[in-house]
Amino acid sequence: MAISDNKGILLETGTNELEIIEVFIDEVGGYRGYYGINVAKVIKIISLPAIIKPPNAAHFVSGMFNHCGNVIILIDMAIWLGRERREDVKPIAIITEFNRVTSAFLVSGITRIHRTSWTNIKPLDNYMQNFCPAITGYINLEDKNVLMLDLERAIGEIDPNLAVPHLQPIDKKEAVSAAVADGIIYPIRVLHADDSGMIRRATKEALESGKEFIVTSEVDGSVAWEYLMDLKRQAIDQNKPLTDFIDIILTDVEMPQMDGYHLCQRVKNDPVLKDLPVVLFSSLITDKLLHKGTSVHADAQLSKPDTRELIANLKAIMAKK
**Same domain? 155 vs 220:** no
Q: Which residues pair with 217 in a beta bridge?
A: 192
Give backbone dihedrals phi and psi of 21, rounded to 5 degrees, phi first: -85, 120
**Same domain? 105 vs 216:** no
AA letter at 101: V
Return the pLDDT at 161.
76
Return the pLDDT at 211.
87
Domain boundary among 161, 180, 199: 161
Return the pLDDT at 94.
98
> Interior CA angle at 198 toward 197 and 204, to 5°?
85
The Cα–Cα gap between 196 and 10 comes to 25
Return the pLDDT at 197.
82
* Cβ neighbours around 237 below 10 Å, total: 8
Return the pLDDT at 100.
86
**Same domain? 127 vs 169:** no
Widest CA span in the chain = 69
CA atoms within 13 Å, Cβ hemisphere of 317: 24
Domain boundary among 135, 161, 187: 161
User: How would you classify residue 49: left for phi > 0, otherwise alpha for psi between -120 and 50, otherwise beta?
Assistant: beta
Q: Which is nearest to 62 in space by CA: 39, 38, 23, 94?
A: 94
Give the CA radius of gyration of the chain: 21
**Same domain? 31 vs 146:** yes
How far is CA 296 from each of CA 87, 236, 267, rounded to the nearest angstrom? 45, 26, 10
The boundaries of the domain holding residue 72 are 4-161
**Same domain? 313 vs 219:** yes
DSSP string, 108-155: SEEEEEEEEEGGGSEEPPHHHHHHSTTEEEEEEETTEEEEEE-HHHHH
**Same domain? 146 vs 262:** no
The Cα–Cα gap between 49 and 30 comes to 25
Return the pLDDT at 89.
86
What CATH number did the domain enclosing 96 receive? Answer: 2.40.50.180
Q: Which residues pair with 96 in a beta bridge?
A: 42, 103
Domain boundary among 161, 176, 203: 161
Reduced to 3 states, what is the DSSP secondary structure of residue 269? helix
pTM equals 0.86
Strands 144-149 and 32-38 come out as parallel
Reduced to 3 states, what is the DSSP secondary structure of residue 76? strand
The Cα–Cα gap between 74 and 49 comes to 9
What's the number of domains the chain is made of?
A: 2
Return the pLDDT at 136.
86
Alpha-helical runs (H) found in 141-247: 151-158, 172-182, 197-208, 221-237
What CATH number did the domain enclosing 190 receive? Answer: 3.40.50.2300
**Same domain? 197 vs 147:** no
**Same domain? 305 vs 175:** yes
Note down pLDDT in tens along the chain; length 321 residues.
Answer: 655 444 444 447 899 999 999 999 999 999 999 999 999 999 999 999 999 988 888 999 999 999 988 899 999 999 999 999 999 989 999 999 998 899 999 999 999 999 999 999 998 777 676 677 889 889 999 999 999 999 988 998 988 777 777 655 555 444 444 444 467 889 999 999 998 888 899 899 999 998 899 999 999 999 999 999 999 999 999 999 999 999 999 999 999 999 999 999 999 999 999 999 999 999 999 888 899 999 999 999 999 888 889 999 999 999 987
**Same domain? 86 vs 111:** yes
User: How would you classify residue 284: left for phi > 0, otherwise alpha for psi between -120 and 50, otherwise beta?
Assistant: alpha
**Same domain? 218 vs 80:** no
Contacts 24+ apart (CB under 8 A), 68-75: 70/102, 72/102, 72/103, 72/104, 73/103, 73/104, 73/158, 74/49, 74/103, 74/104, 74/105, 74/106, 75/103, 75/104, 75/105, 75/106, 75/154, 75/158
* Cβ neighbours around 52 below 10 Å, total: 11
Give backbone dihedrals phi and psi of 89, rounded to 5 degrees, phi first: -115, 130
Return the pLDDT at 117.
96
**Same domain? 216 vs 277:** yes
Alpha-helical runs (H) found in the chain: 77-80, 126-131, 151-158, 172-182, 197-208, 221-237, 260-269, 290-295, 307-320
**Same domain? 219 vs 239:** yes
Report the chain's terminal Cα–Cα distance, integer Å: 46
Contacts 24+ apart (CB under 8 A), 172-177: 172/210, 175/210, 175/211, 175/212
